[in-house]
């Protein structure tokens, strides 16, 4: 078998048999497949597409190109994945809540990508928190605490790491087949029994339309189930930030306020509860979604999820008193400035992607792969669609490292909000379920 023959078969719409997918994924991981061949492969998949069976085969081949975790635990191994958005910190609430309900959650997460925030970056704003851990430590912490949110090691789906880099420079990032295999190869390498997916749609999502979001959700669900992992998806709204903060330490602060009951963001709470209810059903820990949602709410309201979160932080090197002292433990920006509305009326529309780029340019994300992140910067007090404002009232608050950075961010945030005289229709938090 050789790369040229596999690529030619894809080009000619003759498919990707499982053994061809295994050979190609192994070649990506070992270096036997060249960058030129990887790019041609990706372009052939983008143009010709894959059948449902071939997509499962590619996903499993990429999963098996590296280490696949195995577990022996007294409860189901469960995870959640989001396709990315702004102000979306549900993972930090959901992992400990699921653990408090009897699930085990080895959440292998990513860093910020483009305008979207990364779960790993958020947690690294906690002093001492280590996201790069050895497999033995991950097994121990998940067994003892119930959850661990960490970064993927180099041994997890190395074929995907190679193919993703090639896709980024060959105009093939948007292939649904390759997106599906990329997401699921990493998630399934964690040895999951069940997976709930949060597929975002709207101005702050990678999928801007319901048609595209629905297509991705169906591809992910059918492929994951075909690969043997019980999976369902919720398509949730990203036409505005989910929570009222965007930025690493600021989002952790809002999560801790929600976990401890100091100040609950209702939208963040509701999406977390809905995803958690689905996950518990898939894991066999709830009879139906209502039962699952009730269990997640109880774990959050009782403080059991906060207690699990605190133990996870300690186990991964963070402060032992983080739950009690989180306002003092998180970094704060040097410059804080309100963003005044330039007209009176109602917030009618938000360019949520532009808000994400504003956070990146403040230093809260990466313009290039090796950039260092300033965990303290970002946006807070973001006002939602439908909010009435007088001229000069705050649309949001900028947290910046300098006055010049703050000036640029204020202008960017103002440009991202559209104010109208009429009351707009507020978008639903959850559009539909895909199973």
Whether 200 is a known active-site residue: answer no
Instruction: Catalytic residue, from 187, 230, 397, 431: name it.
Output: 187
Structure tokens at 44: 């052939």
> Half-sphere exposure (CA, 13 Å, Cβ side) for 414?
18
Instruction: Catalytic residue, from 59, 91, 109, 119: name it.
Output: 119
Instruction: Catalytic residue, from 122, 186, 311, 399: name it.
Output: 186
* Other CB atoms within 10 A of residue 367 CB: 9
Whether 122 is a known active-site residue: answer no
Whether 186 is a known active-site residue: answer yes
Structure tokens at 230: 């019980």
Q: Which helix (H) or strand (E) holds 395?
A: strand 394-400
394 φ/ψ angles, rounded to the nearest 5 degrees: -80, 125
Instruction: Catalytic residue, from 55, 63, 80, 397: name it.
Output: 80
Instruction: Catalytic residue, from 59, 90, 182, 231: name it.
Output: 182
Instruction: Catalytic residue, from 55, 139, 167, 337: name it.
Output: 167
Buried b (16+ CB within 10 A) or exposed e, 386-419: ebebeeeebbbbbbbbeeebbebbbebbeebbeb
Whether 182 is a known active-site residue: answer yes
Instruction: Catalytic residue, from 54, 59, 63, 79: name it.
Output: 79
Whether 80 is a known active-site residue: answer yes
- Collapsing DSSP to helix, strand or coil, 217 comes out as helix
Instruction: Catalytic residue, from 55, 63, 81, 329: name it.
Output: 81
Structure tokens at 281: 């059903």
Q: What letter would DSSP give residue 364? A: I
Query: Looking at the chain, how many residues does it have?
Result: 435
Helices (H), 149-287: 158-170, 176-188, 210-226, 248-260, 266-282
Catalytic residues: 79-82, 119, 167, 182, 186-187
């Amino acid at each position: 078998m050789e790369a040229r023959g596999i690529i030619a078969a894809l080009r000619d719409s003759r498919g990707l048999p499982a053994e061809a997918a295994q050979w190609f994924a192994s070649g990506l991981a070992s270096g036997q497949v060249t960058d030129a061949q990887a790019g041609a492969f990706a372009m052939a998949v983008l143009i010709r597409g894959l059948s449902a069976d071939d997509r499962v085969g590619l996903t499993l081949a990429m999963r098996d190109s590296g280490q696949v975790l195995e577990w022996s635990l007294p409860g189901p191994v469960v995870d959640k994945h989001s396709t990315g958005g702004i102000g979306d910190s549900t993972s930090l609430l959901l992992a400990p809540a699921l653990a408090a309900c009897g699930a085990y959650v080895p959440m292998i997460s990513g860093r910020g990508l483009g305008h979207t925030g990364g779960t790993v970056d958020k947690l690294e704003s906690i002093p001492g928190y280590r996201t790069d851990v050895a497999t033995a430590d991950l097994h121990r912490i998940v067994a003892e605490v119930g959850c661990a949110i960490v970064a993927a090691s180099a041994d997890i789906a190395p074929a995907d790491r190679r193919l993703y880099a090639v896709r980024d420079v060959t105009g093939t990032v948007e292939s649904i087949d390759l997106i599906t295999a990329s997401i699921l190869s990493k998630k399934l390498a964690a040895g999951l029994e069940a997976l709930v997916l949060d597929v975002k749609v709207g101005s702050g999502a990678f999928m801007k339309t319901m048609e595209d979001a629905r297509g991705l959700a169906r591809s992910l669900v059918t492929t994951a189930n075909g690969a043997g992992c019980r999976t369902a998806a919720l398509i949730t709204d990203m036409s505005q930030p989910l929570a009222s903060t965007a930025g690493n330490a600021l989002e952790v602060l809002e999560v801790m306020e929600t976990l401890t009951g100091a100040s609950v963001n209702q939208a963040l709470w509701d999406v977390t509860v809905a995803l958690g209810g689905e996950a518990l059903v898939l894991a066999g820990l709830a009879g139906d979604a209502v039962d699952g949602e009730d269990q997640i709410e109880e774990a959050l309201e009782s403080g059991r999820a906060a207690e699990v979160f605190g133990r996870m932080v300690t186990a991964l090197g963070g402060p032992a008193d983080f739950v009690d002292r989180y306002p003092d433990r998180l970094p704060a920006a040097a410059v804080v400035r309100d963003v005044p509305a330039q007209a009176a009326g109602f917030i009618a529309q938000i360019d949520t992607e532009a808000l994400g780029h504003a956070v990146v340019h403040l230093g809260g994300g990466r313009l290039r792969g090796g950039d260092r992140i300033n965990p303290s910067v970002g946006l807070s007090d973001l006002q939602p669609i439908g909010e009435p404002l007088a001229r000069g009232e705050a649309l949001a608050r900028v947290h910046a490292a300098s006055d010049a950075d703050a000036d640029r961010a204020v202008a960017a945030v103002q440009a991202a909000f559209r104010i109208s005289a009429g009351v707009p229709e507020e978008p639903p938090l959850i559009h539909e379920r895909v199973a």
